[in-house]
Structure 1
Amino acid sequence: MTAVSAILAVPQASAAVGGVTGFATQNGGTTGGAGGQTVRATTGTAIHAALCSRASSSTPIIIQVEGTINHGNTSKVSGASCNTADGLIELKDISNVTILGVGGGAVFDQLGIHIRNSRNIIIQNVTVRNVKKSGSPTSNGGDAIGMEDNVRNVWVDHVTLEASGGESEGFDGLFDMKNNTQYVTLSYSILRNSGRGGLIGSSESDRSNGFVTFHHNKYENIDSRTPLLRGGIAHIYNNHYVNLHESGINSRAGAKAKVDNNYFKDSKDVLGTFYTSEAGYWQVSGNTFDNVTWSARSSDHNPAGPNPQSNTTVSIPYSYRLDGANCVPGVISQTAGANKGLQVSDGNCTPQ
């Protein structure tokens, strides 16, 4: 008997502020632009102009985006309440902002979103695709969404992040956090067709990041880094991983990952410490490993399988409900990604 999880619909035209989950609920919570003015933008320049039109850099604002945002329509705008740049969406030195895809959808085409020295940001219901660090055009160091330099409280929800290859084709990470980025949740999103899913920490010494939740996301056709975690704590639950070619969740340099009720399929070395001798740790429960292969251990390659066991404990400070791993593929196929109506699982699915 297969359990069926009910689906709850959230109106697409408004930000689901009450739906924030995971570590983004901590440290005072994440509300984005709730309570502020709602404006419409169909170009990147209009997004920057909306930020610059605020009374201050912390005045709440909800920016509804529709259409294709690209290099041709994204320019720097100046003002006392913003710090923007050409060639990317720059959320720098600001707070209390929601960017929400509406209508026929919002696509950031070859144009990344950069969050720097900012807090209380929500990005919801958008697609970011084919952002390059080499070749032409380039944007955001090749990251679809990148966060760095004292970032706090970011909720990224129901987005689709995709590339068309790996580093040799000019792409970098889909979802990167560096240099003191904390209290982040990525939920109900699709990350696909990339060499690198994303990282937390730019090097073994960059251990100031963490408190990140990944839930109800689909990682598909990714080489590695789903995510790469250097130091810090991550809670990784109810995700669907398909066709991870080299490695998956890479906990290293003292990091701790709580890995619950995920579904791994047709993949290799989906959990462990890889490409370093600096160990990371994991607590595992309820995961399904469907046609997962494991390579042999060596000094800098420590896969958790073939029978993954916990080697740490991780305390989670917020409440959450786990879908059973057996129904994760079905739930995520209905809910994850942009333009799905912001649907979520009610958490009633249990293992058969």
Structure 2
Amino acid sequence: MRRAVALRLSTALAAMALGAATGAVLLVPGASAATSGATGYASVNGGTTGGAGGQTVHAGTGAEINAALCNRASSSTPIIIQVEGTINHGNTAKVSGSSCNTAADVIDLKQVSNVTLVGVGSGAVFDQLGIHVRESSNIIIQNVTVQNVKKSGSPTSNGGDAIGMESDVHNVWVDHVSLLASGGEDQGYDSLMDLKNNTRYVTLSYSTLRNSGRGGLVGSSDTDLASSFITYHHNLYQNIDSRTPLLRGGTAHMYNNYYVSLNKSGINSRVGAHAKVDNNYFKDSQDVLGTFYTDLTGYWQVSGNIYDNVTWTGAGSENHPAGPNPQSNTTVSIPYSYSLDNASCVPSIVTASAGADKGLRVSDGNCSTQSPTQSPTQTPTTKPPTTPPTTPPTSAPPGGTNLSLGAGADGSSKASGTSYGNAIDGNLGTYWSPSGTTGSVSVKWGSATTVSSVVIREASGAVGRIGSWQVVNGDTGAVLTSGSGAGAITVPRTSLKKITFQITGASGTPQVAEFETYAG
């Protein structure tokens, strides 16, 4: 699949213009694939290595991230910034220096290069605070959660985008991140990841995008057509109204993504854009591919996709769905090597690996996942050796679908400001706590559900508090298993309507961010 590239970018742009008129496209980006950990289009055009080889700095506040950028010898001096804890408006102040251009109330990677921003330890959560990349290159953003960024109301940050890139940005790898909103534009939110104004050679991989009116776009208007060469692979899009993504011109490659509950439309190829759509799994969704809300149509090449309970609206003015039987109307050449998982395996692979705090797990090519192989150019994923390690899981995290998502929850008590539902919302930034140091939280379903393992994830800042516990069959009261410490727990394979995690001992008030349940 790897191809030699001989033509310059100007030639590639000319080919794109020809393709927009003819429905075909010849892609010839500027360089062969790099040998770093980056995948997709982020691996070409010289590759994306972030801060590899540079100093490693630990940061627990937004101001410390800004200081790390500003304390470099130059704006291109490589740096790896390991982030742990919650980054918010209260701890993100502007820092000045000759090697940076920072701002308050946003993480501004502006006019910089060779930077890695990676979550470590008990996790990194950017709470109501967006990450903005502008006039920058060779950036890696990895293993972080960005949640509830608003463009209206209070507080606001980054124009309402969780991650936004614009103005001559190239070679960015966004990997194993969790991007979360709590509604659409009417609730004050905008997009989860927007790419504008000549943003190129970007990969979004093994990430989750949830609960938003807009997943993201490439090109801010029908005249902003310079952004291109974007790869989306092994991502989970869940409960998104539209834009997964919206493409205006340019070329994008979507493979092995899991799309669940796309409420209005999905991949929206417009204004001559070219989308290669391979081996994705679309479930419980509407109009997952086509040209929508305009007559300026785009193109797509499809193969190997699964459409599970997908509905299609009728074609009409400004509505051009690819279904109900999607067929290719162009061909798209890809300049990098990649391996496709079977679409039938995508739900289990993506559920087990996508998002922050999943151990950077990736597909093993055999319908399962594996830990990554660390190379000298990849970013470290642990804190410096002087920091005590966090409590490890009791076993490897299971694969398959997290059955807790969409289920109900209750429990014995809840501390002020927490709720049982926080433990099953897929959001590591929210949590349930009992009113004391002990208590229970339950997952429940309307019909009998088979469970053979659970995962208990503690909230950032509360790792290690959970001591002894029991997992109880909520239907019968029988104890399925007992132990101590959070993590992955195997239970006897049981069909039940309710399962309870009962904390019987703790070193402080527990904070259960997620109570995940699995059949396999």
TM-score, length of structure 2 as denominator length: 0.64
Alpha-carbon distance in structure 2 between the residues aligned to 1:345 and 1:339: 16
- Is 1:250 equivalent to 2:271 in the alignment? no
- Find the residue that maps to 2:36 and give its secondary structure: helix
Alpha-carbon distance in structure 1 between the residues aligned to 2:228 and 2:63: 32
Query: What letter is aligned with 2:294?
Result: T
- Is 1:94 equivalent to 2:112 in the alignment? yes
1:216 corresponds to which of 229, 234, 238: 234
Shift of 1:321: 0.2
Q: For residue 323 of structure 1, what is the aligned residue in structure 2?
A: 341
Shift of 1:348: 3.1
Identity over aligned pairs, percent: 75
1:167-187 alpha-carbon deviations (Å, 9 max, x no partner): 000000000000000000000
1:165 corresponds to which of 176, 183, 205: 183
Between the two proteins, the alignment pairs up a number of residues equal to 334
Shift of 1:299: 2.1
Q: For residue 458 of structure 2, what is the aligned residue in structure 1?
A: none
2:63 corresponds to which of 38, 45, 64: 45
- Find the residue that maps to 2:260 and give its secondary structure: strand
Query: What letter is aligned with 1:266?
Result: D
Q: How does 1:124-135 map to 2 (within 5 A)?
A: 124-135=142-153
Shift of 1:333: 0.9
Shift of 1:127: 0.1
- Find the residue that maps to 2:238 and give its secondary structure: strand
Q: For residue 112 of structure 1, what is the aligned residue in structure 2?
A: 130
- Is 1:347 equivalent to 2:372 in the alignment? no
Alpha-carbon distance in structure 1 between the residues aligned to 2:188 and 2:154: 9
> Contact 2:294–2:318 at 8 Å: present in 1 too?
yes
> Contact 2:192–2:216 at 8 Å: present in 1 too?
yes
- Find the residue that maps to 1:197 and give its secondary structure: strand
Query: What letter is aligned with 2:250?
Result: G
1:46-84 alpha-carbon deviations (Å, 9 max, x no partner): 000000000000000000000000000001000000000
1:193 corresponds to which of 211, 219, 237: 211
Shift of 1:149: 0.1
Query: What letter is aligned with 2:109?
Result: L
- Is 1:234 equivalent to 2:257 in the alignment? no
Q: How does 1:142-153 map to 2 (within 5 A)?
A: 142-153=160-171
Q: For residue 505 of structure 2, what is the aligned residue in structure 1?
A: none
> Contact 2:36–2:47 at 8 Å: present in 1 too?
no
1:127-178 alpha-carbon deviations (Å, 9 max, x no partner): 0000000000000000000000000000000000000000000000000000
Q: For residue 314 of structure 2, what is the aligned residue in structure 1?
A: 296
Shift of 1:18: 3.4
Alpha-carbon distance in structure 2 between the residues aligned to 1:93 and 1:19: 23
Q: For residue 18 of structure 1, what is the aligned residue in structure 2?
A: 36
- Is 1:266 equivalent to 2:291 in the alignment? no
Query: What letter is aligned with 1:301?
Result: N
Q: For residue 205 of structure 1, what is the aligned residue in structure 2?
A: 223
Gaps of 5+ in 2: 1-34, 369-520
Q: For residue 73 of structure 2, what is the aligned residue in structure 1?
A: 55
1:308 corresponds to which of 309, 326, 330: 326
- Find the residue that maps to 1:20 and give its secondary structure: coil
Query: What letter is aligned with 2:144?
Result: V
User: C-alpha root-mean-square deviation of aligned residues, in Å?
Assistant: 0.9
Query: What letter is aligned with 1:91?
Result: L
Alpha-carbon distance in structure 2 between the residues aligned to 1:289 and 1:253: 25
Query: What letter is aligned with 2:64?
Result: A
Q: For residue 6 of structure 1, what is the aligned residue in structure 2?
A: none
- Find the residue that maps to 1:18 and give its secondary structure: coil
Q: For residue 72 of structure 1, what is the aligned residue in structure 2?
A: 90
> Contact 2:36–2:43 at 8 Å: present in 1 too?
no
Q: For residue 382 of structure 2, what is the aligned residue in structure 1?
A: none
TM-score, length of structure 1 as denominator length: 0.94
Q: For residue 276 of structure 1, what is the aligned residue in structure 2?
A: 294
Alpha-carbon distance in structure 1 between the residues aligned to 2:166 and 2:364: 33
Shift of 1:346: 2.2
Shift of 1:347: 2.3
Q: For residue 402 of structure 2, what is the aligned residue in structure 1?
A: none
Shift of 1:349: 3.7
1:175 corresponds to which of 185, 193, 197: 193
Alpha-carbon distance in structure 2 between the residues aligned to 1:186 and 1:178: 15
- Find the residue that maps to 2:351 and give its secondary structure: helix
Q: For residue 13 of structure 1, what is the aligned residue in structure 2?
A: none
- Find the residue that maps to 1:242 and give its secondary structure: strand
Alpha-carbon distance in structure 2 between the residues aligned to 1:253 and 1:316: 20
> Contact 2:37–2:49 at 8 Å: present in 1 too?
no
2:243 corresponds to which of 225, 232, 247: 225
